[in-house]
Amino acid sequence: MSSSVEDGVGSRDTLVAARPPEPPARVSAPVHRRPAIMQEPVLVLNATFEPINVTAVRRAMVLLLKGVAQAEETSHSEIHSARRAVRVPSVIRLLAYRHIPQQTRALSRKNILLRDRNTCQFCIRVFPASELTLDHVVPRSRGGRSSWENLVACCYQCNNRKGDRTPEEAGIKLARRPRPFTLYTSRQLMRLIGHRDEKWRKYLFY
């Protein structure tokens, strides 16, 4: 078959005229669908079936292929490799118990946005992560620290409006007082993310 393709270079017009729709149809479907599927959320359970995290399909597949987790629930979607089709996991369980310390997550931009659900804490609008920044409720110039209790997700417009002032001075209000990212916060987010997937419910104690 490879030789016929090479031979066909000289007769390109004939090949294109014979079946023009097939190449775009075969190429376009995986290009658009695969990235979306690989970013779908997957619930991660400890070996004891306790929900401990939410990850993306891409990471979940890595854990399955390494043999450190198994799929407890799958979706109707499939990922196709050269040799076989694999059902996309919806819930996976770690095969070895992992101790989860009772402490907050690392303070980071990603976790602040996750805690605040990508919602500006001043105008209460949801934005993509790329359109959000972090705001110090008490400005650093006033001694405000970079901590869970003083950092909130904020859109650029509200950030510019607030400037180097407190919310009271800028005439705006916080949606809610910022708190550390606890296990309870994480569990609530799991329920929020998994609300559309019935397979998650029995693991999240709905």
User: 166 and 187 in one domain?
Assistant: no
User: 45 and 28 in one domain?
Assistant: no
- Reported as a pLDDT band with limits 50, 70 and 90, residue 206 is low
Distance CA 134, CA 109 (A): 7
Distance CA 137, CA 153 (A): 10
Residue range(s) defining the domain that contains residue 11:
2-35
Percentage above 70 pLDDT, the chain: 79
Residue 77: inside a domain, yes or no?
yes
Residue 13: inside a domain, yes or no?
yes
Residue 176: inside a domain, yes or no?
no
User: 155 and 138 in one domain?
Assistant: yes
Average pLDDT score, the chain: 80
Domain count, the chain: 3
User: 154 and 119 in one domain?
Assistant: yes
Percentage above 90 pLDDT, the chain: 46
User: 20 and 65 in one domain?
Assistant: no
Distance CA 158, CA 173 (A): 11
User: Is the dihedral angle over the CA atoms 91, 94, 100, 104 positive or is it negative?
Assistant: negative
User: 119 and 98 in one domain?
Assistant: no
User: 115 and 139 in one domain?
Assistant: yes
User: 47 and 27 in one domain?
Assistant: no
Residue 28: inside a domain, yes or no?
yes
More confident residue, 50 or 11: 50
Q: Per residue in 102-122, pLDDT tens?
A: 655 778 898 898 889 889 999
Query: Which pLDDT value is given to residue 18?
Result: 44
Residue 178: inside a domain, yes or no?
no
Given a cut of 50, whether residue 89 has pLDDT beyond it is yes
Residue 159: inside a domain, yes or no?
yes
User: 54 and 87 in one domain?
Assistant: yes
Distance CA 65, CA 40 (A): 18
> How much is the average pLDDT of 86-113?
85
Residue 160: inside a domain, yes or no?
yes
Q: Per residue in 120-172, pLDDT tens?
A: 999 999 999 899 999 999 999 999 999 999 999 999 999 999 999 999 999 99
Give the closest residue to 174 by CA, choosing from 188, 144, 153, 143.
Answer: 153
User: 97 and 44 in one domain?
Assistant: yes
User: 9 and 50 in one domain?
Assistant: no
Given a cut of 60, whether residue 7 has pLDDT beyond it is no
